[in-house]
């Protein structure tokens, strides 16, 4: 792996029942300690509950798809090309309202929330270079 160029296969996947996270830019990966950055893939109709990051600001940039974004008491539709700013400590949540995966670039400053996500009991870690499959994706109530 290059010090300057990181590919998705270079890092692990954090797999949840709502989607997958790939943290391509973290202190452990790049050595930089001012921010972390990764790609979030939310499956159609899926999302995550409202939550906060007490010590980090977050930027979400919509790469592909469409969804509904909540920040504090404001909710709006988001589509490719839009950016959302979430200040530290502000409740927020995202839901994919489209038919295709919703891809977001997420940036935390300072880094840290990605490690909190990694430690959640519902997080399944898929090693670098391996693809998330049905065998390593957490079960949901909707699966037969």
CA atoms within 13 A on the CB side of 1: 15
pTM metric for this prediction: 0.89
Beta strands in 5-110 (DSSP E): 13-16, 19-25, 36-42, 47-51, 57-64, 66-71, 74-79, 83-86, 92-96, 102-109
37-66 as b/e, with b when 16 or more CB fall inside 10 Å? bbbbbbbeebbbeeeebeebbbbbbbeebb
Q: Residue 113: what are its φ and ψ, rounded to 5°?
A: -60, -30
Q: Give dist(CA 116, CA 38) in Å, integer.
A: 14
pLDDT of residue 101: 97
**Rounded-to-integer distance, Cα 13 and Cα 97, Å:** 23
User: What 3-state class would DSSP assign to 10?
Assistant: helix
How far, in Å, CA of 28 to CA of 41, rounded?
Answer: 21
Alpha-carbon distance of 9 to 24, in angstroms, equals 9
Q: Where is pLDDT greater, at 131 or 84?
A: 84
pLDDT (0 to 100) of residue 140: 47
Contact 90, 52 (CB under 8 A): yes
Q: What is the pLDDT of residues 46-97, one digit of tens each?
A: 998 899 999 999 999 999 999 999 999 999 999 999 999 999 999 999 999 9
Q: Who wins on pLDDT, 136 or 56?
A: 56
pLDDT at residue 143 is higher than 60: no
Indicate the SS3 state at residue 72: coil
């Amino acid at each position: 792996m290059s010090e300057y160029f990181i590919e998705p296969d270079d890092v692990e996947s954090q797999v949840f029942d709502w989607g997958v996270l790939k943290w391509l830019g973290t202190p452990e990966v790049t050595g930089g300690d001012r921010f972390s950055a990764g790609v979030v893939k939310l499956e159609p109709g899926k999302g995550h509950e409202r939550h906060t990051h007490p010590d980090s600001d977050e930027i979400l940039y919509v790469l592909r798809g469409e969804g509904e974004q909540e920040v504090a008491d404001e909710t709006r539709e988001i589509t490719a090309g839009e950016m959302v700013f979430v200040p530290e400590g502000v409740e927020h949540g995202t839901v994919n309202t489209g038919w295709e995966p919703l891809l977001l670039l997420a940036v935390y400053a300072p880094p840290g929330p990605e490690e909190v996500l990694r430690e959640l009991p519902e997080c399944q870690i898929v090693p670098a270079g391996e693809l998330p499959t049905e065998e390593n994706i957490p079960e949901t109530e909707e699966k037969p």
